[in-house]
Copies of this chain bind each other. A is one copy, B any other.
């Protein structure tokens, strides 16, 4: 279905998530028929609010698509030895196909060491350097981080042309900016990576057909940052001066100028757990040579 890009169209994440879920339900059904039960393990230290909120969403998504789950909670003061032992247990457990480790880890844990321990083939949110390398190589057997993958899925769902088009990625984190740039490059976009040191930032981003904002600064993308008719994907989740959730883009200010823009909330964030579930099924299939 070709979607006509009218001016200022708010493109929500839910239809994208729903479509992914629909496909996953069928795939999981097929696997279950063959006696294979895709399963995600979540490894969480302590119980902070944002981890718990994401976990609830992930568990709900898995349940609705037929993916089994197991949550392992470790105490806030867990030792490196205990964390590693638990993670290795999940690596070795053949019933588990995907592992999500909540990060950042508390200070007593050596994240730099732990990222080498998670089994790359179960690493559904790109904690392992092997998966970072695969993102850069464009190796489809890997697992890119869920958020930038959600960005690409949204763009594809709404039929945004990527091949040959100019994409600006604002932000260069390992969680969003850099992998988003690599994934969009794999879609044959001409990608510019902008950041805090970029000179004439608004001029640079306003030349892009597609702008992906992932800097974590409330409403910093104003009208002069966007090209007439551009598609804007707002990855930021911030709190504005009134205490309300908002993105990196000043949506009201750009709405009349852009062709499409994702809202915050109900945009990119609504798709990430679908990508997580999709990665669990992909991992399960790869592990079972499907």
Contact = CB atoms under 8 A, between A and B. Distances in A.
A278 to B, nearest CB: 22
Contact of A134 (B129, B164, B190, B199): B129
A134 B130 CA distance: 10
The count of identical subunits is 2
Interface string A125-141: 00001101111110000
A173 to B, nearest CB: 10
A108 interface: no
A165 interface: yes
30 contacts: A129-B130, A129-B133, A129-B134, A130-B133, A132-B132, A133-B133, A136-B136, A136-B174, A136-B178, A136-B182, A137-B174, A163-B197, A164-B197, A165-B199, A166-B204, A172-B185, A178-B182, A178-B185, A181-B193, A185-B193, A185-B195, A190-B192, A190-B193, A190-B194, A190-B195, A190-B197, A190-B199, A190-B204, A191-B192, A192-B193
